[in-house]
Structure 1
């Protein structure tokens, strides 16, 4: 059947929570510890899907039907192929995370769907979720007999570590501790002085003002373009608006907008590409590498989503941004450049592209 090997990753819906728990049970029963009796504590952990969603995120991989089948699939409910949870350190579901770290829990793939890259795609989607929180790292543990998971995490760059987190004293933790675990950690930040995360609701106006300042600093803006730049609230709902903040003071230093998984943010992007818009650095923060960090974020998102290229448009007057793109290895995309009219001005809208470097491929929407 067309689309039989395709899948999409998204947040689990509340009506799917029982199916998420059932899938997790089936997956673990088919694993190296499936012969062990399931304790009441373990079952409670698996069934606490709503709690994990409230404390972080529960993601699912669902079968992607062909376009002709999509209405029937919606009516019948999506077929779940895998799931993973991401929780915060303060969550009762967390075992290892400390501070602002995110913890990956209960990665599970339906036995009949194994061998399709689902585990890797879910782990990468969980990593993206942690990025949206501004987490400095993702931590996780897996049983010593779970060699398949160990190979996956080590291929994705996770390193073994000795946890400094206090061991929980709950019955659920005690039950899990009867199985020997290996602890893993994946750093998400290259720099300690910046935190990059999604914008918060109470920061929308500040990001709008910052973005307008950034563009007015070097460019002459038409009223229409200025209004578009400042229209952050609907952009944050439809797409993703990221901020770079000073790690010590929390001061907002820059922003960029990217599409949500499975969509685009401009007419420029084609299948297999991620586009971004409105890269802005507050003038007082220039020279700190904020624009470079936000551009690298867009490249990392493309890698995590298994996309091939990053593309973006830029006006001819934005020479500072052009120097940054050249430094990072972007090339001009001449065949997609077009002439546009902005107020009483007519100019060529430039296009840039870069191939996405990756050691591994994910399969996602």
Structure 2
């Protein structure tokens, strides 16, 4: 069981690398590589949204960015919704439930702050994350599907709280 908390400034570089490596390893980066710098910039996410880290002991093994209305990182959220982005788990922690714990931490925050829905978008090729979200009760939200680049299609999902 990982510990989930806000990422500390000293962890930002490691958290950014976890995100960049996880996306690269699963083939979920645009061909032009443009998204890598955004994934690595965990420090910016910590300032302009909420950056969570999953720890195995004191070692970061996962991350997610929690986005509220008005945050700079909003992509598909509307008023009354929390969005999460850039969920990533280090390969050595894969299959241990870290991703689920991070999503549960997002849901807890959203409920605690009185939000009625959590939304996300995920690459249509990211089968493992999509299975996780669906097992957790998330449903498709096709009217929010979009393409950040010609070679990446993102699928919208939601969970009413």
Calculate the TM-score normalised by the size of structure 1. 0.42
Structure 1 residue 240 and structure 2 residue 50: aligned? Answer: yes
CA contact (8 A) 2:28 2:126 kept: no
In 2, Cα distance between equivalents of 1:295 and 1:220: 19
Partner residue in 2 for 1:189: none
Partner residue in 2 for 1:34: none
Instruction: Write out per-residue CA displacement over residues 279-332 of structure 1, whole angstroms, 9 at most, x where no aligned residue.
Output: 000011001100000011111111011111000111111111000001000000
CA 1:320–1:305 in structure 2 vs 1: closer, same or farther (change >3 Å)? same
CA contact (8 A) 2:28 2:125 kept: no
In 1, Cα distance between equivalents of 2:148 and 2:10: 34
Aligned alpha-carbon RMSD (Å): 1.4
Give structure 2 stretches of 5+ with no counterpart. Answer: none
Of 188, 203, 208, the match for 2:11: 203
Structure 1 residue 284 and structure 2 residue 89: aligned? Answer: no
Partner residue in 2 for 1:164: none
Of 267, 274, 285, the match for 2:82: 274
Aligned residue for 2:156, secondary structure, equals strand
Partner residue in 1 for 2:38: 228
Partner residue in 2 for 1:331: 139
CA contact (8 A) 2:118 2:159 kept: yes
In 2, Cα distance between equivalents of 1:347 and 1:240: 25
Partner residue in 1 for 2:70: 263
User: Which is bigger in relative contact order (C-alpha 8 A, separation at least 6)?
Assistant: 2
In 1, Cα distance between equivalents of 2:115 and 2:14: 31
In the TM superposition, residue 339 of structure 1 has moved relative to its aligned partner by 3.1
In 2, Cα distance between equivalents of 1:351 and 1:335: 7
Instruction: Write out per-residue CA displacement over residues 16-72 of structure 1, whole angstroms, 9 at most, x where no aligned residue.
Output: xxxxxxxxxxxxxxxxxxxxxxxxxxxxxxxxxxxxxxxxxxxxxxxxxxxxxxxxx
CA 1:322–1:297 in structure 2 vs 1: closer, same or farther (change >3 Å)? same
In 2, Cα distance between equivalents of 1:323 and 1:311: 15
Of 326, 343, 352, the match for 2:157: 352
Q: Which has the higher strand share?
A: 2
In 2, Cα distance between equivalents of 1:346 and 1:325: 23
Give structure 1 stretches of 5+ with no counterpart. Answer: 1-192, 357-365
Aligned residue for 1:291, secondary structure, equals helix
